[in-house]
Structure 1
Amino acid sequence: MRENLPERMEHGGRVRWHRTRERGELLDFSANVNPYPPDIPWTPDPSVLKDYPDDRYEVLKEVIGRTFGRDAAEVTVGNGSVELIRAFCFAMLGRGDTACIRPPTFAEYEMAVLLAGARCTVDDSDAAVRFLCNPNNPTGTLYTRPEVLQLLAETAEQETCLFLDEAFIELSDPRQSLVDVSHENLFVLRSLTKSFTVPGIRFGYGFGTPELIERVETVRLPWTVNAFAESFAIEAFRHYGDLERSRERIARERMWLSDRLDNLGLTCEPPSANYILIEVPMEAEVLVGRLFSRGILVRDCRSFGLPRHIRVAVRTHEENRQLIEALEACLP
């Protein structure tokens, strides 16, 4: 039996768990999904369930490749982005290796590194892999394309692989993306969950050179993308351009929400995506509890090492207004 397994990481989006315990209706600001998703004309077809999915996912990968101008051999898919994070780490890291992760950022990078038998460090000098989330979760920091290209050049010079998580960039500024860059030292991760508001589907995808993708595909469990997820994803990518409208509406609401938070005297990290990191004048768990009693679920950022911060998603205008009203009632 393997000893000293790391503890499971905390995440937002636990609204279903609360609902099953008869906590009533909740506004979920803890999950960062698109409040204005494209309308996808898709109906599940039960007949696809009688066969195994094509584990090579050739049609799906060709659709993704055409969407982003990449060859299908440069595409991998998985049961959510977390599966691909773990598959990548098992493919690229081993005992004695180190991975550079600079907190606060998405906790699953550390989990995947540790499960692969490697170590985490904030020093990139001897790391085999460097992780960058752009825009970063939870801070919302957005690096420009030139900045990320410079980082890629530096990691390549050190013979390090850059793992670039762009799960939120489609709701931020895709002009800063490196999704079109094929480089032997680069892996780019994306997620359908956030952009199309389908966390129940569980679908992530990534890009790399054919050699890197082959390593990841070898480690990935067979048939992890189920037939319904594959069918929805193919239809969603046909409407990929509709996300531009989502970004415009999110940007307006993000500005409105940021202004109202500032009026409440709260300090926020400069937001760039569909969520905002907020410093609060009390322990985060206290405010989280007060908001919960008013039917508002926000992300307690203690698990990010930020005991006096919460993260809130940018939702629709009416929902954002309700959040501000609840904060006004809950703050000292």
Structure 2
Amino acid sequence: MRDNLPERAEHGGRVRWHRTREKGELLDFSANVNPYPPAIPWCPDPSALKDYPDDRYEALKETIGRTFGRDAAEVAVGNGSVELIRAFCYTLLGPGDTACIAAPTFAEYEMAVRLAGARCTADESGAAVRFLCNPNNPTGKLHSRPEILRLLGEAAGQGAYLFLDEAFIELSDPAQSVADVSDENLFVLRSLTKSFAVPGIRFGYAFGTPELIEKVETVRLPWTVNTFAESFAIEAFRHYDLLEESRQRIARERTWLCSRLDGLGLDYAPPSANYILIEVPMEAEVLVERLLSRGVLVRDCRSFGLPRHIRVAVRTREENRQLIEALEACLP
């Protein structure tokens, strides 16, 4: 038995567990999903469950390829983005390798690197892979497309891969995406379930060169995208353009929510997506428990190494108003 496994990463979105404990309804601000998802005409067909999914996912990959102007051979799919993070790391990293990860950011990068037997570092020199989340989780920092292309050039010049996580860019500014760029040193990760507010189906996808995608798909466990997830994803991509309205509504609510945080005298990182990292004048765990007692669940950022920060999703106006009222009551 391996005794050097890293501890499991902490995540938001544990509302179902909390509801069981609290015996009541909760407003979940801990998970960053689209509060204004497009309404798409999807009705699952139970008869589809009698067959295995097509593990090549040809129809799904062709649909994704058409949406982004990529060949189907340049598309990988998985049971959520985390599966693809781990498949990528198992494909490219091993003992003796290092991966550059700048904190604070999504904990699953480090988890996947360490499970692959490699080491994490903040030093770019000599790293086999550089991880970048754009916009970053939890800070919301958004790099421009020219910045990303410059970083890709630097990585390629050192023989390294740039692993670019664009899980939230669809709810931020897709003009800054490089999902259309084919480069042998680039792997771009996406998540459909956040933008369409269906995290329960677990679906992620990614882009890379055909050679890299073939390796990642070889490492990925077979049939991990279930039939319902596949059929939903195909229908969602047919209505992908409807996310523009979601972005506009989120931007308006984000502005409103930031103005109310200003009124409370709270500092926050400049947000670009559907979540805000807030510095609070007390230990985060204390505030989280106080908010929970009022039926509001937020993300405790201690696991990001930020003991006096919380992260809150941007939700609807009425829900955001309830968050502000709860903060007013719970802050010192």
Same fold (TM over 0.5): yes
CA drift of 1:267 comes to 0.1
* Greater alpha carbon shift after TM alignment, 12-21 vs 192-201: 12-21
- CA distance in 2 between partners of 1:280 and 1:288 (Å): 11
Residue 27 (structure 1) shift: 0.1
The residue that corresponds to 1:143 in the other structure is: 143
Q: Secondary structure at the match of 1:224?
A: coil
Deviation at 1:22, TM superposition (A): 4.5
Give the letter aligned to residue 176 of structure 1.
Q
What is the DSSP-based 3-state SS (H/G/I as helix, E as strand, rest coil) of the residue aligned with 2:188? strand
Counterpart position of 2:289: 289
Alignment partner, residue 91 of structure 1: 91
Query: 1:27 maps to which residue?
Result: 27
Counterpart CA distance in 1 for 2:22 and 2:276 is 28
Q: C-alpha displacement at 1:32, in angstroms? A: 0.1
Q: Match of 2:282, SS?
A: coil
Q: Deviations over 1:48-98 (max 9, x none)?
A: 100000000000000000000000000000000000000000001011000
Which secondary structure state, in structure 2, belongs to the residue aligned with residue 328 of structure 1?
helix
Could you tell me how far 1:40 is from its partner in structure 2? 1.2
Paired AA for residue 281 in structure 1 = P
Letter in 1 for 2:241: G
- After TM superposition, list the pairs within 5 Å mapping 1:117-266 onto structure 2: 117-266=117-266
Post-superposition Cα deviations, 1:226-270, rounded to whole Å, max 9, x if no partner, equal 000000000000000000000000000000000100110000000
Structure 2 CA distance for aligned equivalents of residues 260 and 159 of structure 1: 46
Moved over 3 A (4+): none
Q: Which SS does the other structure have where 2:262 is aligned?
A: helix
Structure 1: how far apart are the matches of 2:262 and 2:215?
47
For 2:263 and 2:212, locate their aligned partners in 1 and report how far apart those are by CA, in whole Å: 48
Q: Distance in 2 between matches of 1:18 and 1:277?
A: 22
Q: CA deviation at 1:18?
A: 1.3
The 1-side partners of 2:255 and 2:308 are apart by 23
What residue in structure 2 maps to residue 73 of structure 1? 73
CA RMSD of aligned residues (A): 0.5
Quote the residue 1:16 is aligned against. Answer: 16
Q: Please name the residue that 1:62 is paired with.
A: 62
Task: Report the Cα offset of residue 23 of structure 1.
Answer: 2.7
Query: 1:269 matched to which residue of 2?
Result: 269
Could you list the runs of 5+ residues in structure 1 that have no partner in the other structure? none
More displaced stretch, 101-110 vs 12-21: 12-21
- The percentage of counterpart residues that share the same residue type is 84
Q: Does 1:40 align with 2:40?
A: yes
State the 1:143 CA deviation.
0.3
**Aligned partners of 1:66 and 1:205: how far apart in 2?**
14
Q: 2-side partners of 1:247 and 1:21: how far apart? A: 34
1:256-300 Cα offsets, whole Å, 9 max, x none, are 000100110000000000000000000000100110000000000
Please tell me whether residue 323 in structure 1 is matched to residue 323 in structure 2: yes
Shift of 1:30: 0.1
Q: Distance in 1 between matches of 2:193 and 2:277?
A: 20
Specify the code of the residue in structure 2 equivalent to 1:125.
S
TM-superposed CA distance for 1:20, in Å, is: 2.3
- Give the unaligned 5+ runs of structure 2: none
Q: Which amino acid aligns with 2:44?
A: P
Cα deviation per residue 1:154-194 (whole Å; 9 max; x = unaligned)?
Answer: 00000000000000000000000000000000000000111
Inter-partner Cα distance in structure 1 for 2:248 and 2:57: 32
Is the partner of 1:20 in helix, strand or coil?
A: helix
Give the counterpart letter for 1:289 in structure 2.
E
Aligned length: 332
Q: In the alignment, is residue 311 of structure 1 matched against residue 323 of structure 2?
A: no
Shift of 1:3: 1.6
User: What is the rounded CA distance, in whole Å, between the counterparts of 1:324 and 1:137 in structure 2?
Assistant: 22
